Amino acid sequence: MNLTAEDEPHRYIQLPRLKEGRYELRVDGEPLLRSTHLDWARYEIIARGPSWEQAERLRQAVVRKNARLARLVLSSSGASEDVIAADPELAELEAAIAELKRPVTRRYEVVRTGDLPPEQVVPVAR
């Protein structure tokens, strides 16, 4: 089961004092979102990227682990701790969960990528 767009977590970012132009949000050097200074001044919604992908993989691993535990308990009429501890699939899922729940340091940067096209330039009131 994957989360729908409405269910996914969102983060907002607002940068009100950027010089006029086009900007790109990069995460670990990879482009994630492109907008103008006007869009960034209002706010932009971030709902994807490597942190979201990691969280989704973690969620899926937990769901698989819970399903595996339920199957073991049902098939063994209340599986003992020894049966659960000896299950290789559970051990593999536990290792994956341990790895996925570790925070990863990421580098977020907003980089100016160019000027606005002439039709988007807003004259400055004097």
Residue ranges, the chain, pLDDT below 50: none
Residue 12: count other Cβ atoms within 10 Å of its Cβ: 10
DSSP track, 15-84: -TTPPSSEEEEEETTEEEEEEEHHHHHH-EEE--SHHHHHHHHHHHHHHHHHHHHHHHHHHTTS--HHHH
Q: What is the pLDDT of residue 77?
A: 64
Q: What is the pLDDT of residue 47?
A: 84
Domain boundaries, the chain: 11-67+103-120
Sign of CA dihedral 34, 36, 37, 43: negative
